[in-house]
Amino acid sequence: MIKYLFLSLTFVLFISGCAPQYAVKNIYIPPVGQKAKQCINECTNARNECQSRCDFQYNQCLNDAYERAKDIKAIMDKRYKRRYNKYLKRLSDYNLKIFDWQNEYSQNYQDWSYFRNKCKTSHDTYACNREDDLRYIIKRMLRNKPREPKPPKQKNFNEIVSQEQTLCKRECRCQKDFDICFLNCGGEIQIQKICVKNCDK
């Protein structure tokens, strides 16, 4: 059953992959007459001016974002330096603690191995009790093992720039305004669905 289901799904995907793909495209039919042509030219000029103004504002926004990112980076670098100095202090404390911990753990482990072997071979009561005590001490030490501090993360400048530039939008409405102007001039816009892939020959 699963085999047939898989084959059916594969066949559907194959068919859909080979199916024609369409795109919607506007077909602009200009009005007739010199006055109408002049009107369309005014619409075109307005669209070009709109697009130029929009591009300028967008690029200006990108530049402003870049400058903001430099200021943000400078502030973040100061914070990072403070956090890094604190990290170095914690790391120094950790190195001292882990050195003492490793020495103590190594000694307890050696003692535990010694008393474990002695308990197994001679069944000495003191040795067996001491083995249990040392096992408990070792487990407790492992639970309380000093943890190495993690270094602070420093944000990359390019990441800050990208984050700030996401605030810049390029929603101009120039083409929509042109379409309205084109229709007001007496033009006609036809929406057609055009095959762009896997078209029938």
Q: What is the DSSP letter of 152?
A: P
**H/E element holding 130?**
helix 125-143
173: left (phi over 0), alpha (psi -120 to 50) or beta: left
Which sequence spans correspond to the domains of the chain?
21-152+160-196
Q: What is the mean pLDDT of the chain?
A: 88
pLDDT in tens, 53-93: 999 999 999 999 999 999 999 999 999 999 999 999 999 99
Dist. CA 59–CA 65, nearest whole Å: 10
Q: If we measure between CA atoms, which residue out of 118, 144, 143, 145 comes closest to residue 130?
A: 118
pLDDT at 1 over 80: no
What are the DSSP calls for 28-68, one per residue?
Answer: EEPPSSHHHHHHHHHHHHHHHHHHHHHHHHHHHHHHHHHHH
Residue 62's CB is within 10 A of a number of other CB atoms, namely 14
pLDDT in tens, 158-193: 999 999 999 998 888 999 999 999 899 998 988 888
pLDDT in tens, 83-114: 999 999 999 999 999 999 999 999 999 999 99
